[in-house]
Chain A
Amino acid sequence: MASPVKPAVSVRGLHKAFGARTVLDGIDLEVEPGEFVALLGRSGCGKSTLLRILAGLDREVGGEAEVPGTVSIAFQQPRLLPWRKVWRNISLGLHKPNGRAIALKALEEVRLTDHADAWPLTLSGGEAQRVSLARALVREPDVLLLDEPFGALDALTRLAMHHLVEDLWARHKPAVLLVTHDVDEALLLADRILVLDEGRIVATHHVALPRPRRRASVVEQRTRVLADLGVDVEEAA
């Protein structure tokens, strides 16, 4: 399956251990430019670790992890600078002259324009996460790493954020690697779903459903993905 375009992410035999504990045990992964990949797996299986490596934050690894283009990331915790106003948190590091205008536009997209001049510590958990998301999106990277960016959001905001991410992805076409615990979310957004377990990719699902997707259309495939996660849906229902 040699592809003519250079992959946005290419990982071969990636191995990572913290002391004696092996967290990633031979990961092979290629992400095409513009591809939307969702990463599922139980807590502690190494999803954040993989994203950190792809972001270039951890180089003490075995194997190869190559990300040729620009990367931006929304971490599992918002990681905003508490001493810089919300809009500055978005525009800092961009190195563009109209930083505030860009930040305001990004805030409009996550529906937080009113909070542009607020201190981050006054934001709710979900609001802070949306700022962090806006901060990642505004950079228009080649590879966008999203580590459970919708974790602290209520169901309604979560839906709005799905649309937002899909929208921005459709417009700028970055390769996206989205970590999530929500199978429906993965099915709604991703081209491909990877299931990570015990440091390996144990299952891959291609999602060929036409976009925009609706909840009902994903139900059938959901059962199969859940089975890979070790959940028996008949029993759970």
Chain B
Amino acid sequence: MTLSIAGVAARPKTATPVQTRKFTLPLRWISPVALVLLWQLASSTGVLSPDKLASPLTVAQAAGELVADGQLGEAFAVSITRVLFGFLIGGFAGVVLGLVSGLSRWGETLLDPPVQMLRTLPHLGLIPLFILWFGIGEEPKLALVAAGVAFPLYLNLHAGIRQTDPGLVEAARVLGYSRFERIVHVVLPSAVPQTLVGLRIAFGTAWLSLIVAEQINADAGLGFLINNAREFLRTDVVVVGLVVYALLGLTTDALVRLLERRILRWRAR
């Protein structure tokens, strides 16, 4: 008797969330789609001149052409390579410095003050110096991306290590963990969630740095594609470039989320 009642009562409970999801997803798309339609309407009626902003259809057409003649692919490859190498350099620096200052007292005493002072400096403001130091080739672009990546990684890794629950470290000590085991099994895992936050911020600043860096005399890459298009008033190509930037940002964000879900499985509940 009781069992059957519970069974009946349980059913609507599971049904409700499914229903709400089914209706909310399309609802959320109403206004974006309407905006694009409005944009198209404004362009078609001549309210919006193509010199200011091309119509969505023209943009789509331009995208198709750029893909077809390989220009977009080439620019994409150049930009991705810049971000990749800049990210590797900056990531390596941020992680090594973060580990040293998080795990050793001397490291913290010597490293943390200058890094904390430098972080208040907006790294994009370093462009003039970077141009003087590295010229106008690939190097200043990589340096800018690297600087944008290193700081958030350092800060969050360092903070994550500092936040380790002292109770857990104590327990590990009494239970016979070696110093190495304490770091590997207690300190570093507890810094992981905060470090992943840092990774996400790092990707965000990496793309931002790339976009800014590619304004410096670029002769290849997405920034070059956009700048070149501006000279010929090709607003459609400019928009295509911007959309690609946005998609790249979304992709890395999704990757970090995926990584989070895998690494932080233990949080599941």
* Residues of A near any B CB (own CB < 8 A): 52, 55-57, 71-73, 75, 77, 79, 81-84, 92-95, 119-122, 135, 139
Contact = CB atoms under 8 A, between A and B. Distances in A.
B230 interface: no
A54 to B, nearest CB: 10
B261 interface: no
Interface stretch (B44-52, B102-110, B164-172, B197-205): B164-172
A75 B174 CA distance: 11
Contacts of A119: 265-266, 268-269
B176 interface: yes
Contacts of A72: 174-175
B171 A122 contact: no
A122 B269 contact: yes
A81 B175 contact: no
Contact of B269 (A81, A93, A121): A121
Given A71-B174, A73-B171, A75-B171, 14 more contacts: A56-B174, A57-B174, A79-B168, A81-B168, A81-B185, A81-B189, A83-B192, A93-B177, A119-B265, A120-B266, A121-B267, A121-B268, A139-B175, A139-B176
A71 B175 CA distance: 8
Contacts of B175: 72, 92-93, 135, 139
Contacts of B269: 119, 121-122
Secondary structure at the A interface, as helix, strand, loop or mixed, is loop
A79 B186 contact: no
List 5 A-B pairs, minimum CB-CB distance, nearest first. A93-B176, A79-B171, A93-B175, A83-B189, A93-B177
B177 A92 contact: yes
20 contacts: A57-B170, A57-B173, A71-B174, A72-B174, A73-B171, A81-B168, A81-B172, A82-B266, A83-B189, A83-B266, A92-B181, A92-B185, A93-B172, A93-B175, A93-B181, A95-B176, A121-B267, A122-B268, A122-B269, A139-B175
B171 A82 contact: no
Contacts of B266: 82-84, 119-121
Which of B167, B168, B170, B269 counts the most chain A CB atoms within 10 A? Answer: B170
A56 B173 CA distance: 9
Which of B171, B173, B176, B265 counts the most chain A CB atoms within 10 A? Answer: B171
Interface residue tally on B, bucketed by range: 20 to 34
A140 to B, nearest CB: 12
B176 A55 contact: no
A94 B171 CA distance: 13
Interface of B: 167-168, 170-177, 181, 185-186, 189-190, 192, 265-269
Contacts of A94: 176
Given A93-B177, A93-B181, A82 B172 contact: no
B28 to A, nearest CB: 32
Contacts of B192: 83
Nearest to A88: B185
A57 B269 CA distance: 32
Which of A71, A73, A81, A94 counts the most chain B CB atoms within 10 A? Answer: A81
Contact of A79 (B167, B176, B185): B167
Contacts of B267: 82, 121
A120 to B, nearest CB: 8
A56 B175 CA distance: 12
A129 to B, nearest CB: 13
A151 to B, nearest CB: 16
A155 B176 CA distance: 32
A94 B265 CA distance: 25
A81 B268 contact: no
Nearest to B175: A93
A75 B176 contact: no
A77 B168 CA distance: 10
Contact of A73 (B168, B174, B189): B174
A84 B269 CA distance: 15
B202 to A, nearest CB: 22
Nearest to B190: A83
A77 to B, nearest CB: 7
Nearest to A77: B167
